[in-house]
């Protein structure tokens, strides 16, 4: 459909269905007629959007047309429908709000000619306080039509209870309930991805999780032998399947979509509902976590990713927002689980292509090379640990990544704000900006780039990551190895990282946080 929709469209429409209320709005002073247009019904969306763009922002556009024995009244602010009424031939209201908008969406493909009356009503002239306040709320918080329709009529066999998140670049996440009353997280690729770009990478990521979770202990033993691993502790990784979110179904009914079929037949992923939200919000509410709780989360997520790496799957977008938490009766009252694998294509020998990244958690080595390998996830996990233990992300490493993204890839993202008192960081930003431009022009090699900044990065690590000096040395050594800009020093995958984390946990007397055999 073509309009965004006010969340309160049904409430406002119902209120305006009263004849007296409607008349009071249509008889306000200073309203201005824009005349009558005769147009094909199929061009209604374009006409409405063109008119919406042509008027001032402080005006309500009123439109009225008749078709099929019904009269329709639209009230629009900017590109947002705030109220819609449907009347029969006698003038009685027979429908309103999103239901009527849905009906119109089903008839606009017709070529019948309609006459549409158009009028402008200044917001300042609306004296009805209820309407004025709700219109203001609508302007402040609008919702796209497909979100409203999914809330209203559900998606397939699910009823939509709440929008959990629309912050991400790739999917909407809803809390949904099936006909049996079970609650799930329902993920739907955003419209630009579903319509204009292939969403196979997103779907492939969830199929990867199916595959990883399906491995049993005997298959794990065979895989470890094939990969040349002999450490018996690695058999424990079978327990770590439980730290990947459970994917119940992937539903794709149409391989090609337009705006209208996207509303009716969106591709969906049905995922386990994690009732405590994500790690980012948890840390924001609680503050920095203690060492033991941070290790409790890190060992589980690293183990889950180690399983993926054994099967040559890379996550490539590990960050606190992609670590979800489910309430239970365990040591900390929750189980952490990783979600949203990128689904990127590649292998450990030839590398993996970029499909998505988050600057604060992206591996700078991969950004320099133009492709990633399994150690990308190692770096991201160390950055997640730093976020847990400190409540912040290190600015200097973010500055490094932004400089690379701006100058090597031409990404139009703003540089991290640097305070006037952060003289050393400001000088570092200038240096990596210059070097990344040279890297783009191939006037220096990646090795020369790393050599030029290594001493500065080490000094800034001590300044912006002081927690490295406050945690046990065994843990600090793992973190330093994981974030090293020397490829030869860093863990090649999360398999060896997990082994060292497990050893450190035992050595530091924290065995009680390790997952237990059921």
Q: In what order do the strands lie in the sheet with 247-251?
A: 159-165, 171-177, 183-189, 268-272, 247-251
**CA 58, CA 136: separation in Å to the nearest integer?**
10
**CA 260, CA 163: separation in Å to the nearest integer?**
21
**CA 68, CA 513: separation in Å to the nearest integer?**
68
**CA 94, CA 395: separation in Å to the nearest integer?**
58
- Residues 20-33: tens digit of each pLDDT: 888 888 888 888 88
- Residues 304-345: tens digit of each pLDDT: 999 999 999 999 999 999 999 999 977 899 999 999 888 888
Instruction: State the pLDDT at residue 442.
Output: 94
Instruction: State the pLDDT at residue 393.
Output: 95
Residue 53, pLDDT > 80, answer no
What is the domain partition of the chain in residue ranges?
4-144, 278-513
- Residues 380-421: tens digit of each pLDDT: 999 999 999 999 999 999 999 999 999 999 888 888 889 999
First to last CA, the chain: 50
Sort residue 346 into left (φ over 0), alpha (ψ -120 to 50) or beta: left
Axis-axis angle for helices 446-464, 395-407 (nearest 10): 150
pLDDT band for position 94 (50/70/90)? Answer: very high
**CA 158, CA 168: separation in Å to the nearest integer?**
22
The structure tokens listed for 380 are 């991201």
Percent of the chain whose predicted confidence (pLDDT) is above 70: 96
Instruction: State the pLDDT at residue 165.
Output: 84
Comparing 29-43, 47-61, 439-453, 498-512, the range with the smallest average pLDDT is 47-61
On the 0-12 / 13-18 / 19+ scale of CB atoms within 10 A, 53 is exposed
Residue 292, pLDDT > 60, answer yes
Q: H or E element: which one contains 347? A: strand 346-347
**CA 515, CA 348: separation in Å to the nearest integer?**
28
**CA 454, CA 448: separation in Å to the nearest integer?**
10
**Are residues 361 and 414 in contact, defined by beta-carbon separation less than 8 angstroms?**
no
Instruction: State the pLDDT at residue 471.
Output: 98
Distance of CA 468 to the CA centre of its chain: 30
- Residues 262-273: tens digit of each pLDDT: 888 899 999 999
The structure tokens listed for 122 are 């200044």
Instruction: State the pLDDT at residue 388.
Output: 98
- Residues 56-75: tens digit of each pLDDT: 667 889 999 998 889 999 99
The average confidence (pLDDT) of the chain is 90
| Strand 4-6, strand 80-87: pairing | parallel
pTM: 0.76
Instruction: State the pLDDT at residue 413.
Output: 84
Residue 518, pLDDT > 60, answer no
- When mean pLDDT is compared over 40-44, 77-81, 143-147, 434-438, the highest value belongs to 434-438
Residue 1, pLDDT > 60, answer no
Residue 47, pLDDT > 90, answer no
pLDDT band for position 143 (50/70/90)? Answer: low
- Residues 454-512: tens digit of each pLDDT: 999 999 999 999 999 999 999 999 999 999 999 999 999 999 999 999 999 999 999 99
Higher pLDDT, 182 or 166: 182
Coil/strand/helix, residue 140: helix
Coil/strand/helix, residue 161: strand
Instruction: State the pLDDT at residue 214.
Output: 92
**CA 65, CA 115: separation in Å to the nearest integer?**
6
Task: Find the mean pLDDT for residues 207-215.
Answer: 92
- Residues 295-305: tens digit of each pLDDT: 999 999 999 99
**CA 40, CA 393: separation in Å to the nearest integer?**
55
Axis-axis angle for helices 291-310, 494-507 (nearest 10): 150
Q: Which residue has the tokens 């158009």?
A: 118
Q: What is the CA radius of gyration of the chain?
A: 28
CB atoms within 10 A of CB 255: 9
40-to-70, 84, 108 alpha-carbon distances in Å = 17, 20, 9
**Are residues 98 and 148 in contact, defined by beta-carbon separation less than 8 angstroms?**
yes
Task: Find the mean pLDDT for residues 84-108.
Answer: 87
CATH 1.10.510.10 fits 278-513, yes or no: yes
Task: Find the mean pLDDT for residues 273-278.
Answer: 95
**Are residues 464 and 383 in contact, defined by beta-carbon separation less than 8 angstroms?**
no
Instruction: State the pLDDT at residue 52.
Output: 75
HSE-CB of 239 using CA atoms within 13 angstroms: 14
């Amino acid at each position: 459909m073509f309009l965004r929709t006010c969340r309160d469209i049904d409430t406002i429409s119902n209120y305006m269905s009263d004849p007296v209320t409607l008349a009071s709005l249509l008889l306000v002073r200073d309203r201005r007629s824009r005349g009558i247009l005769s147009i094909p019904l199929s061009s209604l969306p374009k006409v409405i959007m063109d008119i919406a763009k042509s008027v001032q922002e402080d005006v309500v556009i009123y439109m009225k047309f008749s078709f099929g024995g019904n009269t329709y009244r639209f009230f629009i602010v900017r590109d947002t429908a705030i109220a819609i009424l449907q009347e029969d031939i006698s003038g009685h209201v027979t429908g309103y709000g999103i239901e009527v908008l849905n009906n119109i969406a089903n008839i606009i493909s017709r070529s019948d000619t309609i006459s549409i009356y158009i009028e402008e009503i200044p917001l300042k002239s609306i004296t009805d306080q209820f309407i004025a306040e709700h219109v203001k709320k609508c302007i402040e918080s609008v919702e796209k039509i497909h979100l409203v329709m999914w809330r209203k009529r559900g998606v397939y066999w699910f009823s939509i209870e709440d929008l959990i998140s629309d912050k991400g670049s790739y999917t909407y996440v809803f809390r949904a309930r099936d006909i049996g009353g079970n609650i799930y997280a329902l993920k739907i690729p955003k419209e630009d991805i579903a319509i204009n770009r292939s969403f196979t990478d997103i779907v492939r990521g969830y199929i990867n999780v199916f595959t990883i979770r399906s491995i049993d202990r005997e298959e794990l033993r065979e895989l470890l032998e094939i990969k040349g691993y002999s450490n018996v502790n690695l058999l424990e990784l079978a327990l770590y399947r439980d730290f990947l979110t459970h994917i119940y179904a992937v539903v794709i009914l149409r391989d090609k979509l337009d705006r209208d079929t996207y509303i009716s037949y969106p591709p969906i992923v049905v995922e386990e509902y994690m009732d405590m939200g994500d790690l980012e919000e948890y840390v924001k509410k609680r503050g920095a976590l203690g060492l033991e709780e941070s290790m409790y989360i890190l060992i589980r997520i690293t183990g889950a990713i180690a399983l993926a790496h054994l099967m040559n799957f890379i996550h490539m977008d590990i960050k606190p927002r992609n670590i979800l938490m489910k309430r239970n009766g365990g040591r900390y009252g929750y189980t952490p689980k990783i979600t949203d694998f990128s689904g990127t294509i590649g292998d450990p020998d030839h590398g993996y292509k970029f499909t998505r990244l988050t600057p604060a958690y992206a591996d700078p080595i991969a950004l320099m090379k133009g492709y990633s390998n399994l150690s990308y996830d190692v770096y991201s996990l160390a950055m997640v640990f730093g976020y847990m233990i400190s409540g912040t992300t290190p600015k200097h490493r973010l500055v490094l990544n932004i400089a690379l993204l701006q100058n090597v890839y031409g990404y139009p993202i703003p540089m991290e704000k640097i305070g006037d008192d952060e003289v050393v960081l400001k000088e570092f930003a200038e240096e990596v900006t210059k070097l990344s431009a040279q890297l783009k022009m191939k006037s220096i090699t990646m090795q020369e780039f790393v050599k030029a900044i290594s001493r500065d990065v080490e000094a800034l690590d001590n300044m912006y990551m002081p927690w490295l000096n406050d945690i046990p040395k065994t843990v600090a050594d793992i973190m330093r190895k994981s974030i090293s800009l020397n490829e030869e020093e860093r863990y090649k995958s999360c398999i060896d990282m997990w082994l060292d984390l497990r050893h450190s946990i035992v050595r530091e007397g924290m065995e009680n946080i390790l997952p237990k055999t059921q």
